[in-house]
Amino acid sequence: MSDQPDDDSKTEEATSKKIQDAVDKGNLPFAKEAPVFTSMVGMLMVMIFVIVDGARRLSSVFARLIENPGLWSFSAGEDTVILLYSLIGEVGRLLMPVIGILLIAGLAGSLFQNTPSIVVERIRPKWSKLSIREGWKRIFGSQGRIEFLKSVFKFSLVAIVAAVLLRTAKGDVITAMFVDPFQVPAMILTLSMKLLGAICAATLLLAAADVVWSRRLWREKLKMTKQEVKDEHKQTDGDPIVKARLRSIAWDRQRRRMMSSVPQATLVIANPTHYAIALRYVPEEAGAPLVLAKGKDLIALKIREVAAEHNVPVIEDKPLARSMFDVVEVDQMIPAEFYQAVAEIIFYLNEQAARRLPAVTRYG
């Protein structure tokens, strides 16, 4: 059995990571009709802006050569080379704008859809390209059927437009048999421009529909199963079990470090059982009390236990302990709004120490 998930099970939209991975591999939505449409527009521009003047200039050069061959000297082989280079130059003057316009038009059809980028993955040889089975699927699969229907539609559209246009221009075609032969090329060019313009207008809708359809199909192919989404989240954010274990280890380390710092505390502000904050205040060390440890419930009781073992005063002030616990952070000084309340407690403790009285457990 194949390990590839069934298309029916792919019900989830592609994540941003899946889309970015596809873009990095060169898997981008591409509508083939867009470059075809822009190329036809380029051909129409060539007929309108280049062919008339270019053909007139080139024909005048050949006319001078045919009508007055004596203007050119053929006494040596170098003269023939010079004439050949001149003719090639004139032909190049006609073809260079044509090639430039068609090249820009073809590139515009691609650049309009996606930003250009160099993707090595697209040019790397793949054995699947040589697989008869994969080739059969590409030709006769759903995508192959769609391309076939688009080709039939384009052929039918061009045939209908050409038939309608030729029918309306039937009088001009018949008249062309009786006019000056030098006017026939201009009539053919005019008819060709009308035909190409009509085809461009007709295929504009096809190109726009193909752009929308190719992007929709690209999104459908990138859809993921629910398991693929879960696996990707695990790869991106990490396994939740492992992350919980790492958080637990980090918290244990922080708790041990806090408990080892409690003996250096100057005082502990506590709620009777729920909260405890160990502070250190030595005027020579810092300008404000430093938070050495904080905790609630069992951690708070442990802080009080360690403080009692090392004769660190424990001051019970319920409102202050509760409000400080939500704001202060370990290894940081207390915020300015608690300066006055903590200063009063430190002053009180200093008075008690000066009287050589035992440490109290209640304040206020």
pLDDT digits (tens, 9 = 90+) for 51-71: 877 777 777 777 777 777 666
- 68 and 198, same structural domain? yes
Q: Is the dihedral of CA 11, 12, 18, 23 positive or negative?
A: positive
**Within this chain, do residues 171 and 286 fall inside the same structural domain, yes or no?**
no
Residues 258, 201 share a domain? no
Residues 206 and 281 in one domain: no
**Mean local confidence (pLDDT), 107-129:** 71
Structural domain includes residue 123:
yes
Average pLDDT, stretch 278-285? 84
pTM of the complete model beyond 0.85: no
The CATH code of the domain that includes 307 is 3.40.1690.10
Tokens linked to 125: 């040889």
User: Residue range 232-252: average pLDDT?
Assistant: 70
Mark whether 103 and 225 lie in a shared domain: yes
Tell me whether residue 334 is in a domain: yes
Total domain count, the chain: 2
Tokens 């304040």 identify what position? 363
Range of the domain at 122: 7-233
d(CA 59, CA 77): 25
Where among 185, 206, 233 does a domain terminate? 233
- Continuous segment of H or E residues that includes residue 40: helix 33-46
* Domain-ending residue, one of 169, 199, 233: 233
Picking from 175, 198, 233, the residue at the C-terminal end of a domain is 233
187 in the same domain as 48? yes
- Is the pLDDT at 72 greater than 70? The verdict is no
Q: How far apart are CA 93 and CA 337, in angstroms?
A: 83
Residue 218 and residue 288 in one domain = no
223 and 250 fall within a common domain? no
Instruction: Judge contact between 315 and 307, C-beta under 8 A.
Output: no
What gap in Å lies between CA 159 and CA 196, rounded to an integer?
Answer: 12
Task: With a cut of 80, say whether residue 342 has pLDDT above it.
Answer: yes
Range with top average pLDDT, 7-11, 111-115, 215-219: 215-219
Within a domain: 76? yes
Asked if residue 284 and residue 229 are part of one domain, the reply reads no
Q: Are residues 197 and 254 in the same domain?
A: no
Note whether 342 and 334 are within 8 A (CB). Answer: yes
178 within domain boundaries: yes
Mean pLDDT over 73-93 rounds to 75
Percentage of the chain beyond pLDDT 90 is 0
Has residue 108 got a pLDDT over 50? yes
Query: Token pair for residue 330?
Result: 């370990």
